[in-house]
Structures are given as structure tokens and as C-alpha cells.
Amino acid sequence: MARLDGLAGRLREIVGAESVITDPAELRTYDCDGLTYHRATPGIVVLPDTAEQIAAIVRACAADGVPYVARGSGTGLSGGALPRTDGVLIVTSRMRRVLAVDAANQRAIVEPGVINLDVTRAARPYGYYFAPDPSSQQVCSIGGNVAENSGGAHCLKYGFTVNHVLACEVVTPDGEIVELAEGPGYDLLGAFVGSEGTLGITTKVTVRLTRLPETVQTLLAGFDTIERAGEAVSAIIAAGVVPAAIEMMDALSIEAAEAAVRCGYPPGAGAVLIVELDGPASEVDAQFARVKELCGEAFEIRVAADDTERGLIWRGRKSAFAAVGRISPDYIVQDGVIPRTTLPEVLARIDALAREHGVRVANVFHAGDGNLHPLVLFDGAEPGAGERAEEVSGRIIDLCIEHGGSITGEHGVGIDKAKYMPRMFTDEDLDTMQMVRCAFDPAGLCNPGKVYPTPRLCGEVPGRRTGVHPLVESGKADLF
């Protein structure tokens, strides 16, 4: 690690000694993200304050051929921010200023370490909020949201992070600072958002702000069976209603939520649905009446009278992942997507898989867009249980692919699912995607080993083209 020793010295010159961590005990604090079963202690951790510092750090890494990984709050669930033992972890958590809230133009400019919910807090006095709402929104950072193209319960209506990012200032793997935005040329912004930290590091993000709705209506419906709940979801979509969110939980996840937060969901329910509508009151009132009719098979429907009651309804759902810890010592959170209409069939297959392998699976999902979060329960102390759970979790992903869905709806591929990519995409597809990687990061130093199981050989590292006028090259001038 002599190479890293020399690099650490140069990083101290860039950010100051107090912002470079090389002490082994302190480094271990950063050895995983939200997916804790992948661990690697970073070679060096650096905590920059500015884009210029990040650019200098990236150039120093490039000069030594040292890989680097960017990390925000470290809440990701696919190991996208898993460090390299032979590399540098660039942590953006000190860059947490909200630089501007421009309500007149429905946007805010923030640094990458700003917490998702803090954007909404800054915008709310103007009547606005930041729509993407991953369930980690109290702690996750905007930089991480950009890297993962984060979604959330309300992306059914409002879309994902990529639909709410207007521009990103990015440090490229060349160590240059560039602005990616809609405008003349390729939509590099669209390719960058969701690239899981493999194309560069965002240092400033212009986000779109969304007007707070005039009204929000939320109901909780208890059904005898998950099939009946699924039919209600299909009926709502078929009626032309676009709810802000439709969430479903099965009996086992309800049991967990009751044990954890006593959410008081209808006793004996085989499944519950949470349906939320928002928008102009006149629209929401009419549509909400329709939704209640379409939930006619429910044995109980509760309508939230105010924000407090709404919070109670959501509490069970939002606590579901952590709550599973009350009924099982260990669990795997899966994230897969299916066409929504295949929900009944896929759930039956998951049930059969669980029985076959003797494991329990709790189902929590964004039912409106077919995004499943099966929680595969196991006891790590029991020999072979972890392997069986892993097997079931992987087979669920196969089910998603078989039904025309995706291996990840919002958690990302990261290190965890790179092995599944060849099941969803052909070698040619993966090779083509990596052409983008080769354009941005021909040396393969920017978060290597993530997303793609085998890196594309980029061939000769393209240098600057010769014979082009510098002003044309830099984009300052172009005449035709």
C-alpha cells in the first residue's frame, strides 16, 4: 500500500490533514453502505468541501491509477458505495449547503451531501417540495439519489429522481468540472443520473421543485386475501385513476409492523392496501369516491381525516422493513419489478418457492408500478438457512425477469446484482451500455466493479483530439 501512502500525502495537501482518514479503526466506519453483508475497508477516506477539491482528488487518483468510490450518506441497498480496499472513498457529506431556492422557477440548487428531506424543508415555506421520496429520505443524500435514480412510494405519479433533476455539475473521471443539463447536444444528464457513481461524481444538483398539492386523501383498505387486494389495484388503474401511491402489504408484513409500531391495521387482514390521491380538491374528491367504490371487496376501509391519521396509516408501511426484525433475526430485502398485471401469478409462485425451501417471505410492495420488495426471513444461526434464503431471493429475481420485469426498481444494481445483469440483458446490450462507460471513464477507475459483471475493455484511452481548435473543443465556439 506504499502507493496509497504517497497518495494520502497529496490528498492532505488538497483538503487538509483533518479531512483525510487513514487510521484503520476510523476507516472501518466506512466499510459498507446500507447493504451490510458486503464489506470492504477503504484504503483512504477523504472528506472534501468543494467541487474543486473533488476534481483535484480525482486527478490525483488518476495519476496513480488508484480506483475511487463516491459516497453520500451510505444508505444505498445494493452496495453501490462499497469501498475499495485498494482505493479512495470520497465522502460528500460535508457538502450540504442548499445554495438557492428559486420558487419562481420551481427549482433549487443544492450540494450533493444535502439530505433529501432538507430540500423539501427548504422549499416548503414557498409552497413547494422535492417529489422523490425514498423511504430513507430523512438521511439519504441528493448525491446518492442522483447516483441511484431513487424512487419512492410516490413515484407512481411523480416519476423518479431523473425526472426531477434539471442539471448536475459533475467531476468527470478526467478530473474536469462540467455542467450536464438539457440543452444542445446529447442528453448526458439522462445517462448520468442513475449510473450508480460509475460515470463521475456530482458536486452540485439543480432539482425541480413540485407545488404542494391543494389536498391529499389517503385510505387504508383491509382485504381477506392478497388476490382481492390485487384485483382492487387493477380496477383502480383500469378506471383511469393515477393515484400518488398504491402500497400493499401481506399478512406476514402486517404482523411484523403490528409487533414493531402497533399500527392498528384491520385485524385478520390477508392484505392491506394504502391508496393516496393528491391534487386539486375537485379532482381528488371525485376520484377518491371512485377508489372507495373500487375497493368494495375490502372488509374494512379507513379514511384518514387529517395529517395525523394519514401518518398513522403510513407508519405501518414505512416501518415494514425494520419491523421484520421483530419476527425474524435476519432477512434479505429484495427489489424486483414485474408488469403489474402479473402480480397474482408471481405472488403465487413466490409462495410456492417459499414453501418448497421452507422459508418465510413477507411481501411489501409498491403495487401501482409492480415494484416488489419481498423480505426473505431466516435465522443466520441455523446452518444453511442463509443459503436457502439467498436461493429464494435469487429465484424471485428470476421470476421478475421471466415475467418481463426488472432486477431492480429503485435500489440499483451496485455490487449486489451485477451477477444478475446477464440474465436481464444480452452480452451485446451490456457491451453497448459500457460504451458510455468507456467514453466517460476509459481507465475504469470510477467505482469499478459495480453494475456490470465484466468490464468492457475500452481499448486505447482516448486523449484529446488533435487538430481541433481549443475553443471548439471546449465548446466555447462552434461555427457552421
Partner 1 sequence: MEVVDALAKACEVRPGEAGDAVQGATPAYVAAPAAVAEAAALMGTAAEHGLTVVPRGAGTKMHWGAPPDRCDLLVDTRRLGRIVEHAAGDLVVKTEAGLALDDLRGVLAGAGQQLALDLLPPGGTVGGVLATGVAGPRRLLYGSARDLLIGITVVRADGVVAHAGGKVVKNVAGYDLGKLFTGSYGTLGLIVEAAFRLHPLPRAAAYVSATAAGPGQALQMAQALLHSTLVPAAIEVDGPGPITVAALFEGVPDGVAPRAEAARSLIGGRIGDAPPGWWGRLPDGEVLAEVRALPTALPDLFAELPDGRARIRGSAGRGVWHVALPADGAGDALTRLRRHGTAVALAAPAGVRLDRWGPIPALPLMRRVKDQFDPGHRLAPGRFAGGI
202 forms beta bridges with 170
Q: Which of 142, 407, 415, 446 binds partner 1 (CB under 8 A)?
A: 407
* Cα→Cα distances 436→10, 35, 411, 415, Å: 30, 27, 21, 19
Choose the binding region for partner 1 from 264-272, 311-319, 345-353, 431-439 (rule: CB under 8 A).
431-439
Q: Specify the residue, 216 or 301, whose C-beta has the smaller distance to partner 1.
A: 216
Residue 231 CB, shortest distance to partner 1, in Å, is 12
324 close to 379: Cβ distance less than 8 angstroms? no
Residue 236 CB, shortest distance to partner 1, in Å, is 11
Cell 479531512 belongs to residue:
19
Residue 29 CB, shortest distance to partner 1, in Å, is 27
For β-strands 88-91 and 44-46, DSSP reports them as parallel
377-405 exposure pattern, b = at least 16 Cβ within 10 A, e = fewer: bbeeeeeebbebbebbbbbbbebbbebeb
Choose the binding region for partner 1 from 14-22, 112-120, 172-180, 294-302 (rule: CB under 8 A).
172-180
Q: Which of 56, 162, 291, 361 binds partner 1 (CB under 8 A)?
A: 162
Residue 329 CB, shortest distance to partner 1, in Å, is 30
Residue 189 CB, shortest distance to partner 1, in Å, is 8
Residues numbered 226 to 245 that lie near partner 1 (CB under 8 A) are 234, 237-238, 240-242
- How far apart (Å, rounded) are the C-alpha atoms in residues 47 and 57? 10
Q: Which of 24, 125, 185, 383 binds partner 1 (CB under 8 A)?
A: 185
Q: Specify the residue, 380 or 475, whose C-beta has the smaller distance to partner 1.
A: 475
422 binds partner 1 (CB under 8 A): no
Cell 425474524 belongs to residue:
328
1-32 exposure pattern, b = at least 16 Cβ within 10 A, e = fewer: eeebeebbebbbebbeeebbbbeeeebeebbb
Residue 58 CB, shortest distance to partner 1, in Å, is 14
Residues numbered 26 to 85 that lie near partner 1 (CB under 8 A) are none
Residue 325 CB, shortest distance to partner 1, in Å, is 26
- How far apart (Å, rounded) are the C-alpha atoms in residues 270 and 351? 14
Residues numbered 89 to 118 that lie near partner 1 (CB under 8 A) are 102-106
- How far apart (Å, rounded) are the C-alpha atoms in residues 355 and 461? 52
Choose the binding region for partner 1 from 65-73, 222-230, 282-290, 373-381 (rule: CB under 8 A).
282-290
393 close to 334: Cβ distance less than 8 angstroms? yes
421 binds partner 1 (CB under 8 A): yes
Residues numbered 302 to 341 that lie near partner 1 (CB under 8 A) are 337-341
What secondary structure does DSSP assign to 370-382, as a single string? TEEEEEEEE-TTS
371 binds partner 1 (CB under 8 A): yes
